[in-house]
Amino acid sequence: MESITTLRKAGSSLIATVPKEIIALEGLTAGQHVKITVQLVKKSFFGAARGIGPFTAQDEKWMEGNHD
């Protein structure tokens, strides 16, 4: 199973938490050794421009340098 988690600072180390769904599925308990593969997740900005509206003729003029 795969999961995305946020690292937290603890002293000079970082901690990654394991979600309870993975703990239950894998039957994990405290003190067990597990293998973790690290892969940086890129942020998605999908939906970041929501509500801006369509590109208008006025926007087109502004892009051409006409800032009236």
For residue range 5-62, list pLDDT tens digits in order.
Answer: 889 999 999 999 999 999 999 999 999 999 999 888 887 777 777 777 787 888 888 7
21 domain-assigned: yes
2 domain-assigned: yes
61 domain-assigned: no
Residue 15 pLDDT = 94
User: Both tokens of residue 22?
Assistant: 């993975």
| Total-model pTM | 0.54
Residue 45 pLDDT = 74
3 domain-assigned: yes
Domain that holds residue 17: 1-38
Residue 52 pLDDT = 78
46 domain-assigned: no
Number of compact structural domains in the chain:
1
